[in-house]
A = this chain, B = another copy of it.
Amino acid sequence: MARIRHKSLDCSPGCAVEATLQLIDGKWKGVILYHLLEGTLRFNEIRRRLPNITQRMLTAQLRELEQDGFVLRTVYAEVPPKVEYSLTARGRTLEPVIMALKKWGDENTGFRRDPESSADLDEPAADCPVSCVQAGG
């Protein structure tokens, strides 16, 4: 099993729920996975999509995702270092989960995105309004 980052699981029937959650927890895992669904991305490309993440964390999260077998890290031995990250087949199995998460978020966190076209959530918008952060209830 994925190396237990937390403690051991509670093996109730909800075990699976918890197990899955542990894999995509960590403030960034989910978002990174989401962006990777679009396709291969380079280190800095991901970074630009997650303006608030530090390279330290990005590297760490990416490493964990890699260890969990979700992302593939491809290093190009070039003068200007180039590393690409892409989802593995296993990583893609998470798509329905990520999408379920996004769907719910779109419909409930009031983040907005065309209420009309709320059906097509498989086409990530390239931007987010400034007031994306829900300022409290």
Contact (Cβ within 8 A) B90 A132: no
Contacts of A25 in B (CB 8 A): 21, 25
Instruction: Answer yes or no: A4 CB below 8 A from chain B CBs.
Output: yes
Name the contact of A9 in the complex, choosing from B93, B127, B130 (C-beta under 8 A).
Answer: B130
Contact (Cβ within 8 A) B16 A105: yes
Which chain B residue shows the least CB distance to A51?
A: B10
CA of A35 to CA of B109, assembled, Å: 23
Contacts of A94 in B (CB 8 A): 104
Against B, the Cβ 8 Å flags (1 = close, 0 = not) of A29-55 are 011111100000000000001111100
8 more contacts with CB within 8 A, not counting A15-B132, A20-B101, are A10-B51, A11-B128, A12-B50, A13-B125, A19-B109, A25-B25, A69-B111, A69-B114
A-B contact pairs, 15 of them (CB 8 A): A3-B137, A8-B130, A9-B130, A9-B133, A9-B134, A10-B51, A11-B51, A14-B32, A16-B111, A17-B34, A20-B104, A88-B119, A90-B108, A93-B104, A94-B104
